[in-house]
Structure 1
Amino acid sequence: MGLLSLLTSNPTAFIIIALALVLSLAIHEFAHAYTADRLGDPTPRRYGRVTLNPLAHLDPIGTLLLLVAGFGFAKPVPINPNNLGRWGTLWVAAAGPISNLLIAFVCAVLLKVLPTTQISLTILLTVLGINVVLAVFNLIPIPLLDGSRILGALVPSLGRSLSQFEALPYSFILVFGFIFLAREPLSQFIRTVQNWVLTVVGI
């Protein structure tokens, strides 16, 4: 179910979830761009991606899918692996999920130390949950996701095969089909990670 159904049934929840998603996706992509930039690849800066401005990172089709279907994507950050090398490419790929996990931990800490109201509790739990989902989802080692790029950097021969798959027309349909079929175990694992984050900070 997409976010549009919340617009009429629960406008407050729609605003909270939509803002959390947009900002979390922007930070995720900024983390990729900033890391590549710091490691010597000027490509993201040349495309205007070393910014926290969500408009630089949102993909029109991915945003529409978020509203209608409840899942979507941002624009991938363009990089040149030749400027980064094997391990630089790995760190750039890992930077996005790491940023989401850091946001989740910050939210968990705020839940622990701040006096909570109903609205602050809702916002922090929503942001925490969304960022755990983004981190876990992107670490799946299948093409088009960060996990495949991390795996490709660790196993270069496999990385070449994954890159060839990504170049296939409509490869994203196959990827989303896999995720749809694996949604139950993925959901269980995401809940496990979310509980782990809360446990680590003592909640």
Structure 2
Amino acid sequence: MRRARSSGGDSRVSPIFLGIVAVMVVSGWAVWSDFAADSRFAVFLFVVSGWVVSLCLHEYAHARTALHSGDTSIGEKGYLTLNPLKYTHALLSIVLPVLFLLMGGIGLPGGAVFIERNRIRGRLKHSLISAAGPLTNVLFGVLLMLPFALGAADGWPIEFQSALAFLAMLQVTAALLNFLPVPGLDGYGVVEPWLSYDIKRQVAPFAPFGLLAVFGILYIQSVNVKFFELIYTIVGWFGVRQEFVQYGDFLFRFWQR
């Protein structure tokens, strides 16, 4: 007799996710040890794989919170496996965020886990589900910046410090931007349960364009400058120097000689 599956469904960590983590570890070691023939490409692999790992954790946080809030269909959808191929829209959750990263050095996750909201009772639970993703970016970013804050990074290879600083900066931008109350972003998902039906109906048509609108606004030079001034201030609180972030960005763009 087959045993009934738990309400969590399949929660085994996907080999695909483990493979991405392995790329992050190996490329990070290559940057640290200067083993790679092209350290800039190693930095590129480290940052991209680390960014994809954070995207998977971001979506996992949404899914896990939804499961504990009442949506027991989450496990059957495969969201608890951390497999990026299980997302409803891999384009929104993986491809577009990586594209934004390549184009502008900005961490801006999409949203792609389908949550059956009708199974969840209570506005606070709905808000927490939306907040769980960017809060994961906050936690990941803090962990990446702790070595700088504690002084443990002093003496580490400059390339590795810079790659780590750049990846941490991406987490900060992802958290900050995704908490904006813009339709299509998690920040709007936090406040949406508390809005009237009429307001939600009027805003709904703009949701598919919120992500692109934010990215477009960031391309305005004056906005971009002010935004990164804020980002550098935040990472500076943790002892991450602006020069490290900028050098990490330079190393990341290995195709620009």
TM-score for both structures, normalised by structure 1: 0.76
Q: Which residue of 2 aligns with 1:53?
A: 83
C-alpha root-mean-square deviation of aligned residues, in Å?
A: 2.9
1:1-203 pair list within 5 angstroms:
10-57=40-87, 58-59=90-91, 61-62=95-96, 65-66=99-100, 69-70=103-104, 73-84=109-120, 85-111=122-148, 112=150, 114=152, 116-118=155-157, 119-157=159-197, 158-166=199-207, 172-181=211-220, 182-198=223-239
Once residues 163 and 203 of structure 2 are traced to their aligned partners in structure 1, the CA distance between those partners, rounded to angstroms, is: 37
Once residues 109 and 96 of structure 1 are traced to their aligned partners in structure 2, the CA distance between those partners, rounded to angstroms, is: 20
Offset, 1:51: 2.5
Alpha carbons of structure 1 residues 192 and 104: separation in structure 2 relative to 1, 3 Å: same
Q: Which runs of 5+ in 1 are unaligned?
A: 1-7
Once residues 98 and 231 of structure 2 are traced to their aligned partners in structure 1, the CA distance between those partners, rounded to angstroms, is: 24
60-69 or 91-100, larger mean C-alpha shift: 60-69
Once residues 13 and 140 of structure 1 are traced to their aligned partners in structure 2, the CA distance between those partners, rounded to angstroms, is: 30
Offset, 1:67: 6.6
Alpha carbons of structure 1 residues 162 and 178: separation in structure 2 relative to 1, 3 Å: farther
Alpha carbons of structure 1 residues 41 and 165: separation in structure 2 relative to 1, 3 Å: same
Once residues 63 and 27 of structure 1 are traced to their aligned partners in structure 2, the CA distance between those partners, rounded to angstroms, is: 14
Once residues 174 and 105 of structure 1 are traced to their aligned partners in structure 2, the CA distance between those partners, rounded to angstroms, is: 28
Once residues 85 and 147 of structure 2 are traced to their aligned partners in structure 1, the CA distance between those partners, rounded to angstroms, is: 27
Alpha carbons of structure 1 residues 24 and 165: separation in structure 2 relative to 1, 3 Å: same
Offset, 1:74: 4.4
Alpha carbons of structure 1 residues 61 and 104: separation in structure 2 relative to 1, 3 Å: closer
Secondary structure of residue in 2 paired with 1:192: helix
Once residues 210 and 136 of structure 2 are traced to their aligned partners in structure 1, the CA distance between those partners, rounded to angstroms, is: 26
Offset, 1:175: 4.2
Q: Which residue of 2 aligns with 1:3?
A: none
AA aligned to 2:233 is T
Secondary structure of residue in 1 paired with 2:81: coil
Secondary structure of residue in 2 paired with 1:127: helix
Once residues 186 and 43 of structure 1 are traced to their aligned partners in structure 2, the CA distance between those partners, rounded to angstroms, is: 39
Q: Which has the higher helix share?
A: 1
138-147 or 68-77, larger mean C-alpha shift: 68-77
Once residues 9 and 66 of structure 1 are traced to their aligned partners in structure 2, the CA distance between those partners, rounded to angstroms, is: 23
TM-score for both structures, normalised by structure 2: 0.62
Count, aligned residues: 190
